[in-house]
């Protein structure tokens, strides 16, 4: 495999640590966005369940109420922030979709575990689908831009004359 630019070596410790890191980026930035948006609206978050919007009645995460729209906006902004996390911590365009789906799969499991029932609200699924698409596409775009940068080659000889 001498002809390859980068050879891929399967490293399970690296993969698990990247998954844990992306989960931390996801929930950390989601908490910051929720706090910031609620601060802008002058109502601070009161409990942990705002991280898992499924346990709140489905009308809260929806288009009909201002708090539902703000909650959806925080998820969309979080997808943009996590795309930057993909750029800085994953750095491979081919792996952005994998890590995005993994992050949202663990979020699904967390919501399911926290509420003791499988999410069935259509708005929850729509918000998650939009966030997956945004995070994967923007993360892949940013990673591809980084991967396609020119490699600087100095052809001038180094001499101290």
**pLDDT value, residue 159:** 65
Asked if the model's pLDDT at residue 28 lies above 90, the reply is yes
> For residues 38 and 68, what is the distance between their CA atoms, to the nearest angstrom?
11
pLDDT digit string, tens, across residues 99-147: 999 999 999 998 888 888 888 888 889 999 999 999 999 999 999 998 8
> Are residues 54 and 121 in contact, defined by beta-carbon separation less than 8 angstroms?
yes
pLDDT over 90, % of the chain: 45
Contacts of 102 (CB under 8 A, 6+ apart): 19, 22
Segment holding 151, helix H or strand E: none
> For residues 32 and 74, what is the distance between their CA atoms, to the nearest angstrom?
9
Q: Residue 156, SS3?
A: coil
Asked if the model's pLDDT at residue 55 lies above 70, the reply is no
**pLDDT value, residue 85:** 95
| Residue with the two structure tokens 């399967």 | 10
User: Who wins on pLDDT, 62 or 114?
Assistant: 114
Cα atoms found within 13 Å of the Cα of residue 112, Cβ hemisphere only: 10
Asked if the model's pLDDT at residue 58 lies above 70, the reply is no
What does the CA dihedral 143, 144, 147, 149 come to, rounded to 10 degrees? -110
Q: Average pLDDT in the 48-64 region?
A: 55
Q: Residue 59, SS3?
A: coil
Q: If you average pLDDT over every residue of the chain, what do you get?
A: 82
Nearest in space to 129 (alpha carbons), one of 112, 93, 105, 110: 105
**pLDDT value, residue 128:** 94
* Weakest-pLDDT range from 5-9, 41-45, 55-59: 55-59
List, in sequence order, every beta strand (DSSP E) within 7-158: none
User: Who wins on pLDDT, 1 or 39?
Assistant: 39
């Amino acid at each position: 495999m001498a002809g390859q630019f980068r050879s891929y070596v399967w490293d399970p410790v690296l993969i698990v640590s990247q998954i844990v890191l992306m989960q931390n980026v996801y929930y950390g930035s989601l908490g910051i966005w929720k706090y910031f948006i609620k601060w802008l609206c002058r109502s601070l978050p009161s409990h942990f369940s705002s991280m898992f919007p499924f346990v709140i009645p489905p009308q809260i995460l929806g288009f009909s109420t201002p708090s539902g729209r703000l909650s959806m906006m925080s998820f969309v902004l979080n997808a943009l922030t996590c795309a930057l996390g993909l750029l800085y911590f994953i750095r491979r365009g081919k792996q952005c979709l994998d890590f995005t789906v993994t992050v949202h799969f663990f979020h699904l499991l967390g919501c399911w575990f926290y509420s003791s029932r499988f999410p069935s609200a259509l708005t929850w699924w729509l918000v998650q689908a939009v966030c997956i698409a945004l995070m994967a596409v923007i993360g892949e775009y940013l990673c591809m831009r980084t991967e396609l940068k020119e490699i600087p080659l100095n052809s001038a000889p180094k001499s101290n004359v």
